[in-house]
Amino acid sequence: MTIPLKPRSEVRLAGNRHEMELPKRILVGNGVVKELGSFLDNLRCQAVHIVTGPHIIAKVKKPIEIILSTNGFTVHWSEIHIADMKTIQKIVESIDKNVDIMIGFGGGKTVDVAKLAAFNMNLPYLSIPTSASHDGISSPFASIKGSDRPYSIVANPPLGIIADLDIIGDAPIRLLASGCGDLIGKVTAVKDWEIERTDKGSYFGKYAASLARLSADIIIEEAKNIGEGKKDSVRDVIEALLSAGVAAGIAGSSRPCSGSEHLFAHALDIQGKNDGLHGEKVGLGTILMAKLQGINWEKIVKALEDIHAPTKGKDIGLEDKRIVKAILQAKKIRPDRHTILGRINLDEQSAFNLARSTNVI
């Protein structure tokens, strides 16, 4: 079986109609992974295939097998080390034909691999995140290496999500800060969507946009508490990430969640170096694009600082010339997506001035 590099079109519009796909059930709380058996019962699934990474499998395989086997479930496992097309191909070729559901149990890369493998097998999938690093845990979009595009491709949203706050709370604080960077990026993403509507007359969903923006606003308002590790801060972040993913499902597009700030992050990715986490690069892009959009970028910087997320390229090892290059490359990543970068013609000097004026370099 060959993995399609473009599994489905992101734009699913016909006239004034578009398709919404949302998770059927979401469970959030402390220790809720223990309810996996009853959760799968509710979804009417019996044979499961779990995709996870080497660190997570060492911690969860035995207890999860006990939970599921005692309730009559059959369990198969795939241990992955990289989120690329070859890994997905391997899973697709090895999966038992009687499997009812795929489970992505791990970080963002693991969830993305399970998401796309499930799509290619025409299977539903369940998302069990172990960190709150980005909104892919609930969205239909996956970032996979080895595809023909440097940005997310479209699959299906999860049928269900189990967000165990005990597990997610044990993840490195840097991952939580990265998730916050991804969420704050919804500020500029929504503004870019508005710009596209104004300039191109394209579809704009007020509800989806408001939900995505609310996810960002909550993080900005609670930034100090999140940075101090206050009670319920992990819940705030995970619920905001879930809401952002749902916003994309309602819109039938990544537009409420991904704009010029994501194009900047993707431009950094295609430079071939693995500097920084996705949400960290999105946070930097948000600072830059907010200034171009006339948004209060200093407020965004303050929120990122309170969360202990990077606000300067050097914080994650980015050289000044790479940042300038990424600013210039960003609008070329997705010619189909109109953003602030389509309104403003930047040259090398103006891109440098932008980055310098915001202290990103």
pLDDT at 332 over 90: yes
Residue 58, pLDDT score: 87
Give the integer Cα–Cα distance in Å for 140 and 61.
Answer: 26
Between residues 51 and 150, the one the model is more confident about: 51
Answer yes or no: is pLDDT of 16 > 70. no
Q: Is the pLDDT of residue 130 over 60?
A: yes
Question: What is the enclosing helix (H) or strand (E) of 288?
Answer: helix 278-293
pLDDT at 131: 92
Tell me: pLDDT of 69 over 80.
yes
pLDDT at 148 over 70: no
| 267 and 139 in a common domain | no
Q: Classify residue 1: in a domain, yes or no.
A: no
- What was the pLDDT predicted at 200? 95
Segment 16-23 shows an average pLDDT of 71
Query: pTM score, two decimals?
Result: 0.90
| Domain contains 338 | yes
- pLDDT higher than threshold 50 for residue 1: no
The continuous run of DSSP H or E covering 258 comes out as: none
Q: Are residues 135 and 101 in the same domain?
A: yes
Quick one: which of 269, 306, 305, 308 has its CA closest to 172? 308
Q: Which of 134, 153, 169 is the last residue of a domain?
A: 169
Q: What is the mean pLDDT of the chain?
A: 89
Chosen domain end from 143, 169, 195: 169
Residue 2 pLDDT greater than 80, yes or no: no
Cα(173)–Cα(153) distance, integer angstroms: 28
Is residue 4 assigned to a domain?
A: no
For 83, the token pair is: 């989120």
Do 74 and 144 sit in the same domain of this protein? yes
For residue 151, the model assigns a pLDDT of 57
Task: Among 169, 198, 216, identify where a domain stops.
Answer: 169
Supply the DSSP symbol for 15: T
Determine the pLDDT at residue 331: 92
Per-residue model confidence (pLDDT) at position 46: 85
**Among residues 356, 360, 331, which one has the least CA distance to residue 151?**
331
CA neighbours within 13 Å on the CB side: how many for 283?
36
13-27, 141-155, 318-332 — most confident range: 318-332
Give 158's contacts (C-beta < 8 A, 6+ positions apart).
23, 104, 115, 124, 125, 126, 127, 137, 138
Q: Is the pLDDT of residue 12 over 50?
A: no
223 inside domain: yes
The CATH code of the domain that includes 332 is 1.20.1090.10
Which whole number is the average pLDDT over 210-219?
97
Element (H, E) at 26: strand 25-29
Identify whether 217 is part of a domain. Answer: yes
pLDDT at residue 149, rounded to an integer: 59
Task: Evaluate if residue 145 carries a pLDDT over 80.
Answer: no
- Give the residue-averaged pLDDT of 276-302: 97
Determine how β-strand 17-18 pairs with β-strand 13-14: antiparallel
Instruction: Clarify whether residues 189 and 324 are in a common domain.
Output: yes
Domain of 107?
Answer: 13-169
Residue 3 belongs to some domain of the structure: no
Distance CA 215, CA 131 (A): 17
On whether both 164 and 300 belong to a single domain, the answer is no
Q: Do 180 and 159 share a structural domain? A: no
pLDDT at 212 over 80: yes
Q: In total, how many domains does the chain have? A: 2
